[in-house]
């Protein structure tokens, strides 16, 4: 085998975002956390002006409760507005293909019976999914959504929901820093949109268009295939639309919800090798940059480096494992008269196995969830890497949300390590006591609760057991993956699963909400607690959170808690799947 350019993929996918995270993180720090004397001056006048249009004269000084309330109120508004939009899209403009209400999608039940007509389940699920920055899709965008729904509903949410997550991270950092106020949610949101998402997306969308991605409001094209007779198809409907606008923010905002059902495996959503590399870079760059911003805001770069390093370690191991197992042949082709090469099942042929595996590891590590290969077809261990990323949910994860998740593990690590050095545990100079520990443990507990209880319930009942595409461990993996993805607000899926049923729509919708709001609000409350505490001076007896020892402690804590929570489920799913495939 000669040198294969595809091997550049993992290096590009890790190296470029790391390099870019520093300048972007620095500019986020400069623009999102301006010194008091720079507020509203220079470029900052723009978001302030926009806030004034919304009726906010000057930034409020919110404590954690008011900040949380603003965050919730904003999300509630999003929920109501987009629900109406998707439900009534047939009455709204920009619908050249005359798509009906998403609520009239209908579904096929476990027994294979079609239920056409009214079903609000999918609308509920879709809204939950997009409001929570998850983008789990139980519909296919190109078939079921009007351009207005895509632009005004999906893309809009893809802008504001990651921005809302990042805003909470800003507030939490201010709390950890001991600021008097945690900031103003609306101002933070506006700054993030103006200084981070809009500029990045404009640039990226233009680059993607230049790479051949469609960006049009014209309806689908009806084409006559050259081999129509052979394919028994007179006309072919080729869907298109304002793809580039969505694809840019889909990737950069850890969203992942595609314009087309097959997501970035679709040639219009990922037209070339370059678009593939750009999109893979976009996946992880902002979560990384947010940690650079963290270090600068806390004035504690070493601590941020520990967190960055811990996440990067998990990511690198994940990518290595996934690629390693995907370049192995699939067990399905064993003993067949075909060339035993990399596992190409479910892969976009243009992208190949290495790119697919790299993407799979990175999209599940972050809470992105876009795909350029089908995760259901990954070899079991590669699939387990993707699933483990979702279960740990701290490998960069969502923009802002990733740090918030990790913060909970940091608190637990600090608590145990603090006791082990013989002092009341401290984090960033604040004592960690019963209340903080309670909040952190609640957040950590929620994740296995939602995933395991959900997967258990659906595995044991027809709700799940009858919707799997495969029997045995692989089918179980599909169920487990769906709940993991929903809970981690990721949005990818083992898509053999027939998940557009009322049971799945309602259950995952609920898990989506529970996987989003408590894990964001609990750290906010925790930061609010710590903010009011007295700063304890550092001494030689203080546990350092900015060195290699704590790095090890943190990685160990995540690994141990993660492994202990999910190991039995993983053993029954992908591990058993793998072992059974290896059977002679």
Partner 1 sequence: MTVDTQISAPQRSLPEATALKMQRRHARRLSIFDPEMVRQAAVRSFAMLDPRSMMRNPVMFLVELGTVLTAIVTVQSIVGGAAIGLIVYQTALTLLLLLTVLFANFAEALAEARGKAQADSLRATRQDTPAFRLDSIDSDTGHSVPSTQLRTGDLVLVEAGQVIPSDGEVVAGVASVDESAITGESAPVIREAGGDRSGVTGGTRVLSDRIIVQVTSEPGQSFLDRMIALVEGAIRQKTPNEIALTIVLAAFSLIFLIVTAALYPMARYFDLTLDIPTLIALLVCLIPTTIGALLAAIGIAGMDRALMANIIAKSGKAVELAGDIDTLLLDKTGTITIGNRRATQFVPLGGVSDRQLARLAGLASMADSTPEGKSILDLARPVTAVDGEVPAGSQFIEFTAQTRMSGVDLPDGTRIRKGAPDTLARYIQDQRGVIPQGYQPTVDAIASHGATPLAVAENDRIVGVVKLEDILKQGIRERFARLRKMGLRVVMVTGDNPLTAKAIAEEAGVDDFIAQATPEAKLAYIRKEQQGGKLVAMMGDGTNDAPALAQADIGVAMNSGTQAAKEAGNMVDLDSDPTKLIEVVEIGKQLLMTRGALTTFSIANDLAKYFAVIPAMFIVTLPELKVLDIMGLATKGGAYSAILAAVIFNAIIIPLLIPIALKGVTYRPVGAGALLRRNLLWYGLGGVIAPFIGIKLIDLIIDPLLALVGMV
Element (H, E) at 236: strand 236-238
Of 338 and 421, which has the nearer Cβ to partner 1? 421
Alpha carbons within 13 A on the beta-carbon side of 513:
14
Of 104 and 572, which has the nearer Cβ to partner 1? 572
What minimum distance in Å lies between the beta carbon of 291 and partner 1? Answer: 23
Distance between CA atoms of residues 358 and 283, nearest Å: 11
Please spell the DSSP secondary structure of 402-414, one letter per residue: HHHHHHHHHHHHH
Distance between CA atoms of residues 3 and 17, nearest Å: 24
Of 356 and 475, which has the nearer Cβ to partner 1? 475
Q: Are 212 and 260 in contact (CB under 8 A)?
A: no
Distance between CA atoms of residues 554 and 413, nearest Å: 6
Of 29, 20, 15, 17, the C-alpha closest to 301 is 29
Of 235 and 461, which has the nearer Cβ to partner 1? 461
What minimum distance in Å lies between the beta carbon of 424 and partner 1? Answer: 5
What minimum distance in Å lies between the beta carbon of 296 and partner 1? Answer: 24
What minimum distance in Å lies between the beta carbon of 96 and partner 1? Answer: 45
What minimum distance in Å lies between the beta carbon of 413 and partner 1? Answer: 10
What minimum distance in Å lies between the beta carbon of 436 and partner 1? Answer: 8
Of 178 and 261, which has the nearer Cβ to partner 1? 178
Of 444 and 497, which has the nearer Cβ to partner 1? 444
563 to 327, 381, 392, 546, 558: CA distances (angstroms): 26, 15, 9, 25, 8
What minimum distance in Å lies between the beta carbon of 93 and partner 1? Answer: 47
Of 194 and 417, which has the nearer Cβ to partner 1? 417
Find tokens 């987009």 and name the residue.
82
Tally of CB atoms within 10 A around 417:
20
Distance between CA atoms of residues 386 and 375, nearest Å: 8
Widest distance between CA atoms in the chain: 81
Alpha carbons within 13 A on the beta-carbon side of 396:
32
Please spell the DSSP secondary structure of 199-224, one letter per residue: HHHHHHHHHHHHTT-----S-PEEE-
Which long-range contacts (C-beta less than 8 Å, at least 24 apart) are formed by 275-278? 275/208, 275/211, 275/212, 275/213, 276/350, 276/351, 276/355, 276/372, 277/9, 277/12, 277/13, 277/16, 278/204, 278/207, 278/208, 278/211
Of 349 and 540, which has the nearer Cβ to partner 1? 540
What minimum distance in Å lies between the beta carbon of 240 and partner 1? Answer: 41
* Strand, coil or helix: 114: strand
Of 43 and 579, which has the nearer Cβ to partner 1? 579
Distance between CA atoms of residues 345 and 378, nearest Å: 8
What minimum distance in Å lies between the beta carbon of 400 and partner 1? Answer: 24
Of 4 and 549, which has the nearer Cβ to partner 1? 549
What minimum distance in Å lies between the beta carbon of 374 and partner 1? Answer: 22
Please give the residue ranges that form the binding site for partner 1 (CB under 8 A): 412, 415-424, 429, 432-434, 437-438, 441-442, 444-445, 448-449, 452-453, 455-457, 459-461, 464-465, 472-473, 475-476, 479, 534-537, 539-544, 547, 549, 552-553, 556, 560-561, 563-565, 567-569, 571-572, 575-576, 579-580, 582-583
φ/ψ (deg, to 5) at 237: -90, 120
Dihedral of the alpha carbons of 87, 90, 95, 98, in degrees to the nearest 10: 120
Query: In the beta sheet, which residues pair with residue 430?
Result: 427
Of 147 and 325, which has the nearer Cβ to partner 1? 325
What minimum distance in Å lies between the beta carbon of 128 and partner 1? Answer: 22
């Amino acid at each position: 085998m000669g040198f294969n350019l595809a091997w550049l993929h993992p290096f590009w996918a890790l190296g470029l975002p790391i390099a870019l995270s520093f300048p972007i993180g620095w500019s986020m720090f400069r623009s999102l956390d301006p010194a008091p004397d720079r507020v509203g001056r220079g470029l900052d006048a723009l978001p302030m002006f926009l806030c004034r249009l919304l009726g906010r004269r000057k930034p409020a000084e919110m404590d954690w409760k008011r900040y949380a309330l603003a965050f919730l109120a904003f999300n509630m508004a999003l929920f109501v507005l987009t629900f109406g939009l998707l439900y009534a899209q047939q009455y709204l403009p920009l619908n050249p293909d005359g798509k009906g209400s998403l609520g009239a999608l209908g579904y096929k039940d476990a027994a294979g019976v079609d239920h056409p007509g009214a079903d609000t389940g999918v609308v509920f699920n879709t809204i939950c999914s997009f409001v929570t920055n998850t983008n789990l899709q139980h519909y296919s965008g190109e078939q079921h959504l009007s351009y207005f729904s895509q632009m005004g509903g999906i893309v809009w949410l893809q802008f504001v929901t990651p921005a809302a997550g990042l805003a909470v991270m800003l507030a939490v950092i201010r709390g950890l820093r001991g600021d008097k106020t945690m900031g103003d949610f609306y101002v933070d949101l506006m700054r993030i949109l103006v200084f981070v998402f809009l500029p990045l997306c404009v640039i990226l969308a233009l680059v993607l268009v230049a790479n051949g991605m469609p960006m049009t409001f014209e309806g689908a094209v009806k084409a006559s295939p050259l081999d129509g007779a052979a394919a028994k198809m007179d006309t072919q409907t080729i869907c298109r639309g304002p793809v580039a606008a969505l694809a840019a923010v889909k990737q950069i905002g850890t969203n992942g919800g595609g314009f087309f059902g097959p997501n970035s495996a679709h040639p219009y959503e990922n037209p070339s090798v370059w678009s593939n590399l750009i999109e893979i870079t976009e996946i992880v760059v902002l979560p990384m940059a947010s940690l650079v911003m963290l270090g600068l805001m806390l004035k504690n770069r070493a601590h941020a480096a520990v967190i960055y390093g811990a996440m990067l370690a998990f990511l690198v191991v994940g990518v290595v494992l996934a690629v390693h197992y995907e370049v192995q042949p699939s067990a399905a082709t064993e003993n067949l008269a075909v060339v035993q090469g990399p596992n190409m099942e479910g892969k976009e042929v243009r992208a190949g196995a290495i790119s697919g595996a790299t993407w799979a590891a990175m999209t599940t590590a972050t809470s992105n969830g876009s795909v350029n290969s089908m995760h259901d077809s990954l070899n079991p261990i590669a699939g387990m890497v993707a699933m483990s990323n979702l279960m740990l949910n701290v490998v960069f994860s969502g923009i802002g949300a990733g740090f918030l998740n990790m913060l909970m593990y940091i608190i637990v690590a600090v608590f145990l390590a603090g006791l082990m050095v013989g002092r009341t545990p401290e984090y960033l100079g604040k004592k960690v006591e019963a209340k903080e520990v309670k909040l952190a443990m609640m957040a950590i507990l929620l994740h296995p609760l939602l995933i395991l209880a959900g997967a258990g319930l659906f595995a044991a009942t027809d709700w799940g057991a009858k919707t799997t595409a495969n029997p045995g461990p692989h089918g179980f993996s599909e169920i487990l993956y769906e709940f993991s993805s929903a809970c981690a607000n990721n949005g990818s899926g083992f898509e053999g699963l027939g998940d557009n049923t009322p049971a799945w729509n309602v259950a995952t919708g609920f898990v989506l909400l529970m996987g989003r709001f408590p894990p964001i609000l609990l750290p906010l409350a925790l930061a609010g607690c710590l903010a009011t505490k007295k700063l304890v001076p550092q001494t030689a007896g203080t546990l350092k959170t900015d060195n290699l020892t704590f790095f090890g402690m943190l990685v160990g804590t995540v690994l141990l808690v993660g492994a202990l929570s999910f190991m039995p489920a993983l053993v029954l799913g992908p591990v058993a799947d793998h072992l059974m495939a290896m059977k002679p």
